[in-house]
Amino acid sequence: MATNVLGWTKSRQRYLVAAGLAAVLVFVMPLMAREQDQHAPKPTGAEPVPEPAIPAILAAFDKYEVVAMPEGHGLKDLDDFILTLIRTPAFTNKVNDIEVECGNSLYQPALDRYIAGEDVSFKEVQKVWRNTSQDMCGTSIFFEAFFPIVRAINQRVPQDKRIRVWAGDPPIDWDEVKSIKDTRKLARRDATAASVLEKEVFSKHRKALMLFGMYHLMHGVADDAVSIIETDHPRVVFVISDLGIFGSNFQTLSSSPFASWPIPSLARTRNTWLGAMDLGQFLPKQIFFQGCDFRLDFPKEYQKPVAELVDAFLYLGPPDLRLQEQWPIDLAFDDEYRKELARRDLLTGVIEGTNWSHGFEQDAAAGAENPFIPPFKPPDLKSMTKRCLEGKNPLSAMP
C-alpha cells in the first residue's frame, strides 16, 4: 500500500505521514507555492466574473447554511481578510456561529465564557488554540487576534446577534498524552468537525462560517468534513478556496488574468475556464511513496475539475506579493511552550522532530527580513530516492 505525505516549508509547516488506513495524526496545510504544472493549456469555459468579496460572501448565507473557507495557515493576506469580514457590521446579521479548525473542543466551556465577555484570562483561553492537534494553530498570530476580536464584537451587538465560536478539533488533554497511541482519536478530526456543525448549526437552523484548511473543505471527497456533512445535507455548504499557487509564474503584474480584478474579489468556478482546471494548478501535489519509489500526485477523488470540489475562488492580490504571518511575540518568551511543542512533535511522528529553539530563532529572523511567502520548489524525487536507499527508510528521505 502506498503512503502519502503532505509537504510544506518553514519549521512550523511540517511533514507528517498518513500511512494507509492507520489511525494517525495528520497535519494538512496547503501553503502558497510555485507549482509544477503552471504551463498547462488554458481550458475552455466562460471567463470568471469577479465580485466584491465581502458582499458576495455575505450574500451566500442567504442560500447556504454554511460558508466554508480556509483560515490563515501562515497567509497574512487571508488572515487580514477574515478579520475584516467578521468586523463588517452586516456579518452578525447573517451569521450565528463560527467553527474553527484551531480549537480544542476540550476547552469549549472556557471558550464560551471568554467569547461571551466573562472574566476569563487570555492565558486561560490560549489553551483553546495552543493545545490542538496542530502546531500551526498554537504558533499562529491570526488566532491570537481572532478570538479577542470576536469577544469585542459580541460586546457591541445585541444579545441575539452575538456570535458563538465552536472548537472543531477533537478533545485532547496533552498532559495525558505519553505515546502516539494516545493520539489515535485525533485521526477523526473531520468527523469531529462535521458532528459539531450537525449538533450546533443544522439541528438548530443556524448559519455558520467554517474556517478550516482546504483539505477539510472540498465537495465529494469521502472523508473530509464538508463531504461528511453533505452526506445527510446535500449542497448546504458554499466552499471558497484562495487561488493558492495559481498564477505564481506570471512575469509581470499586468500579465496576470486577474490584473483588472478588484482586491479582494470572489469568482464562481462553475462553467468557467478557472473551474475546468485540475486541483494541481492550485495546490501542490502530495508525495506518495512505496518503499523508496516516490511520486507526486493526488488521490483519485481529487482528480476532477476543480469546480466539482470548490464553488468559488477568493482573489487577494498577486501571488508573488502575498505576505506571510509573523510569529506571535509572546512565543519568543515562552520557552516552556516551545519545549512542549517539541515533545508533541516527537510523540506524533513529525519527521526528525522540530528544533523549537535555534530553529525558531532562525525562522523569526528570516520572517522579519522578508515579509513575503517564500517560493516553494517541487521536491527532487531522484535525490529523495537516493537518500532513502542510503538510509533504508523512506522517512529519512523527506526534504
Is there a domain that residue 363 lies in?
no
Say what the pLDDT of residue 74 is: 87
Is there a domain that residue 121 lies in?
yes
Helices of type H across 61-188: 76-87, 91-94, 108-115, 122-125, 127-130, 135-138, 141-154
Distance of CA 283 to the CA centre of its chain: 12
**Total Cβ atoms within 10 A of residue 315:** 23
Is there a domain that residue 74 lies in?
yes
> Digits of tens for pLDDT over the chain (399 positions)?
455 544 433 333 333 333 222 323 232 333 333 334 444 567 889 999 999 999 999 999 999 999 999 997 889 999 999 999 999 999 999 999 999 999 999 999 999 999 999 999 999 999 999 999 998 999 999 999 999 999 999 999 999 999 999 999 999 999 999 888 888 777 789 999 999 999 999 999 999 999 999 999 999 998 899 999 999 999 999 999 999 888 766 656 666 888 899 999 999 999 999 999 999 889 888 888 888 888 888 999 999 999 999 999 999 998 888 899 988 988 888 999 999 998 888 887 665 555 676 667 777 777 778 898 877 677 788 888 888 888 766 665 666
Say what the pLDDT of residue 17 is: 32
Say what the pLDDT of residue 395 is: 60
- Predicted TM-score (pTM) of the model is 0.88
H/E stretch holding 376 reads none
Is there a domain that residue 390 lies in?
no
Is there a domain that residue 135 lies in?
yes
Q: What is the CATH number of the domain that holds 144?
A: 3.40.50
Q: Are 309 and 279 in contact (CB under 8 A)?
A: yes
Is there a domain that residue 371 lies in?
no
H/E stretch holding 5 reads strand 3-6
Say what the pLDDT of residue 34 is: 35
Q: Are 172 and 134 in contact (CB under 8 A)?
A: no
One DSSP character per residue, 359-372 reads HHHHHHHHHHH--B
Q: Measured between alpha carbons, how far is 66 from 64 in angstroms, rounded to an integer?
A: 6
Is there a domain that residue 388 lies in?
no
Which grid coordinates belong to 255? 500579465
Say what the pLDDT of residue 29 is: 32
Task: For 205-235, give one letter per residue: b (16+ CB within 10 A) or e.
Answer: eebbbbbbbbbbbbbebeebbbbbbbeebee
Is there a domain that residue 45 lies in?
yes
How many domains does one find in the chain? 1
Say what the pLDDT of residue 374 is: 77
Say what the pLDDT of residue 392 is: 61
One DSSP character per residue, 282-306 reads TSPPEEEEETTEEEEE--GGG-SBG
Say what the pLDDT of residue 380 is: 85
Q: Which domain holds residue 236?
A: 36-283+304-349
